Structure formats: structure tokens, C-alpha cells
Amino acid sequence: MKAGLTAGELAIDLNASLVGDPGVLLTDVTHDSRSAAAGSLFVAIRGLKMDGHAYVNAAIASGASAVCVEEAPAASPVPVLVVRDSRKALGPAASAVHGHPSRKLSVVGVTGTNG
């Protein structure tokens, strides 16, 4: 079974405003509109030359189930999570959607001296 969580649960995790259906299940996160698919959250990131917000409609057309943006569009057929900084939200969103895998890691330290 794939990990996942609803748009409403993710909005709480990210301290985001949610516009749309909070019950939509998200199972993946991407910042590339070309790899958006059913179940994925598209995170629009501003770059030096390109702005991911320009690709929100392309991501939705590719099947994205929700989008994460810094500015809410006038209307959207999918849930919209509005955050202050989408670049900072990308990592926590991926971690949350995939069940916080780093929380399950064991950390082992080997210490000692050689002389």
C-alpha cells in the first residue's frame, strides 16, 4: 500500500491555507509539471529564470491532484495549498506525503580513538 495523506492533513502539516476539497488523497510530490500524475501534489517553485507558477495549469492537465503555490489562482479544479514559500514547503510536503520516512531511521554512531 502506498503512503499518502489528504490535502487537508497536508495543509495542517504545512500550516497552509487550503482552497478546495480537503479529502483528496495525495500519494506523491513533484515540482516538475511534466511528471505530475493522478495522486500527485505539484509544488510551484520560483526560480531565477522560470517561475513554476506558470506551469500550474500544465500540471493540472497532466493529472496533478492538488497544487501548492504562493499565490492562489482565481479558480482551480483541484485543491490549492497556499504557503508563504513553496521552495521551503517542498521537502516537508514530500516527507509528510511519504509517511515521514526519516523518523523510522536508526542512527548508529561509532566512536573511539586510535592512539
For cell 511519504, the residue is: 98
Asked, for residue 57, whether it belongs to a domain, the answer is yes
Domains identified in the chain, total number: 1
Asked, for residue 109, whether it belongs to a domain, the answer is no
Asked, for residue 115, whether it belongs to a domain, the answer is no
Asked, for residue 106, whether it belongs to a domain, the answer is no
Residue 103, C-beta contacts closer than 8 angstroms, at least 6 positions apart: none
pLDDT, residue 107, reads 87
Asked, for residue 61, whether it belongs to a domain, the answer is yes
Asked, for residue 40, whether it belongs to a domain, the answer is yes
pLDDT, residue 115, reads 61
The pTM score is 0.88
Asked, for residue 90, whether it belongs to a domain, the answer is yes
Summarised one tens digit per residue, pLDDT across range 65-92 is 999 999 988 889 999 999 999 999 999 9
Asked, for residue 75, whether it belongs to a domain, the answer is yes
Compute the average pLDDT of residues 34-56. 95
CATH of the domain at 14: 3.40.1390.10
Identify the domain containing residue 93 by its residue range.
5-98
Predicted confidence (pLDDT) at residue 1 exceeds the cutoff of 60: no
